[in-house]
């Protein structure tokens, strides 16, 4: 009868104290790195959110300080109704200058901001030439109220128009809309509008 040999067991090697300390140090270092990484990510998000909020506030402040008008065509082009693009700005009065070739004197409005075709139709019939459509530079001095304070704006706008030829009657001038050309214009607004009209 043969004797069965039992399989050899591998010897169990216990970790030394130094190795345990090294493994623990490695685990602690990994956890510390992970924690600092999460902290950096959180701080980066907070900084990005704060920067985005500052930028939004700066843009809102810039919009608030800026006065820009838009024009809405009314009554088949007989006039363009003017409004500020910022709701917190209320137009009080306006003085409007057209190029001297179209109209030599200014027009003033109070509480009813608008541009009317009748103000320049005679000048356009004489000086627009054969153009069926075009733009007229308009100098506008606006007094408006914002946050309870009275402020002024001096700008040049381009007023779109179209001329409709008619037989046996004078050509009909219709206004189409308004776009900003220059802001913060100093000096003579009629001369500035006239220079743009001459250079068209």
**φ, ψ dihedrals at 194, nearest 5°:** -65, -40
Going by C-alpha positions, the residue among 95, 101, 84 that lies closest to residue 136 is: 101
Contacts of 178 by beta carbon, 8 Å cutoff, 6+ apart:
69, 70, 71, 80, 82, 115, 157, 158, 159, 160
Going by C-alpha positions, the residue among 164, 166, 165 that lies closest to residue 174 is: 164
Label residue 191 left, alpha or beta by phi (over 0 means left) and psi (-120 to 50 means alpha): alpha
pLDDT at 82: 96
pLDDT at 55: 84
pLDDT at 109: 95
Q: What is the pTM of this model?
A: 0.68
pLDDT at 5: 59
CA distance linking residue 55 with residue 152, whole number of Å: 26
């Amino acid at each position: 009868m043969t004797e069965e040999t039992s399989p050899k067991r591998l010897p169990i090697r216990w970790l030394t104290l130094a190795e345990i300390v090294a493994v623990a140090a490695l685990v602690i270092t990994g956890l510390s790195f992970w924690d600092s990484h999460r902290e950096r990510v959180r701080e980066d998000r907070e900084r990005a959110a704060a920067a985005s909020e500052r930028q939004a506030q700066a843009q809102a402040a810039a919009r608030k300080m800026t006065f820009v008008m838009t024009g809405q065509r009314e009554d088949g082009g007989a006039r363009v109704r003017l409004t500020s693009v910022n709701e917190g700005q209320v137009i009080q009065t306006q003085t409007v200058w057209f190029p001297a070739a179209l109209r030599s004197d200014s027009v003033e409005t109070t509480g009813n901001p608008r541009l009317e075709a009748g103000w320049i139709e005679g000048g356009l019939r004489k000086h627009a030439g054969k153009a069926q459509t075009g733009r007229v530079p308009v100098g506008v001095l606006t007094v408006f109220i914002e946050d309870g304070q009275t402020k002024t704006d001096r700008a040049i706008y381009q007023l779109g128009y179209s001329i409709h030829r008619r037989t046996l009657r004078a050509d009909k001038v219709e206004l189409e809309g308004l776009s900003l050309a220059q802001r913060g214009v100093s000096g003579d607004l009629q001369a500035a509008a006239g220079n743009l009209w001459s250079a068209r």
